Structure 1
Amino acid sequence: MFRRTFWFTAGAAAGVWATTKVNRKIKQLTPESLAAQAADKAVEAGHRLKEFALDVRAGMAQREAELGEALGLEERNDPHVIEHRRVAALDHNKHSYNRNEDH
């Protein structure tokens, strides 16, 4: 009699555990949950991309300062001058001549 009670209880506990596990998985796979997971991953990727861009910018500024020191151009490493050169370079790329535009 004790064996039957033990196995009945063990079976019922396993059934409850399996049902709970399946219900959790089903909730994870609903469209709303999948959309929320995708949005979270997109935000996380955006943060990582922003951190990467800031690291690249800092590395560029450091390397430019090193090159300026090596070439004796310290006065040209003023942040205002660097920003002005960057903006001028971007403006130049926007208005560069494209020989295919004339045809």
Structure 2
Amino acid sequence: MFRRTFWFTAGAAAGVWATTKVNRKLRQLTPESLAARAADRAVEAGHRLKEFASDVRDGMARRETELNDALGIESGENHRELPAPRRPEALGRKHPYNRNEDH
């Protein structure tokens, strides 16, 4: 009698456990759940990428300071600015290719 009661209880507990596991897995595989999980992972990846870019910028600034020290350049100096880009219109010439021709 105790043996049958034990196995009945063990079987019922195993059935409840298996049903709970299956239902939980089915809820995880719904389209809404998958979309939410994908969005969360995309946000996490964005944060990691932002941290990486910040680390790269910090490393670049540190290396630039090291190079300026090695070359004897003070960081407060005015750097030479690049010349303005040359455009054919500014020189009085028209551009040989008209972009509106293709449309």
TM-score of Structure 1 vs Structure 2, range by shorter chain: 0.7 to 0.9
Whole-Å Cα distance in 1 between the matches of residues 65 and 13 of structure 2?
68
Measured after TM superposition, the shift of residue 64 of structure 1 is: 0.3
Q: Which has the higher contact order (CA 8 A, sep 6+)?
A: 1
- Supply the AA of the counterpart residue of 1:26: L
Q: Which residue of 2 aligns with 1:62?
A: 62
TM-score relative to the length of structure 2:
0.75
**CA distance 1:7–1:57, change in 2 (3 Å):** same
Q: Which residue of 2 aligns with 1:3?
A: 3
The structure having more radius of gyration, on CA atoms, is 2
Q: Give CA-to-partner distance per residue, 1:17-55, whole Å, 9 cap, x none.
A: 000000000000000000000000000000000000000
Aligned ranges 1:20-59 → 2 under 5 Å: 20-59=20-59
The answer for unaligned runs of 5 or more in structure 2 is 88-94, 98-103
Measured after TM superposition, the shift of residue 102 of structure 1 is: 5.7
The answer for unaligned runs of 5 or more in structure 1 is none
Q: Which residue of 1 aligns with 2:92?
A: none
What is the SS of the residue equivalent to 2:19? helix
Q: Which residue of 1 aligns with 2:90?
A: none
Runs of 4+ that moved beyond 2 A: none
Count of residues in correspondence between the two structures: 89
**CA distance 1:31–1:53, change in 2 (3 Å):** same
Measured after TM superposition, the shift of residue 81 of structure 1 is: 5.5
Measured after TM superposition, the shift of residue 96 of structure 1 is: 8.4
Q: Say what the alpha-carbon RMSD is for the aligned residues.
A: 2.6
**CA distance 1:2–1:30, change in 2 (3 Å):** same
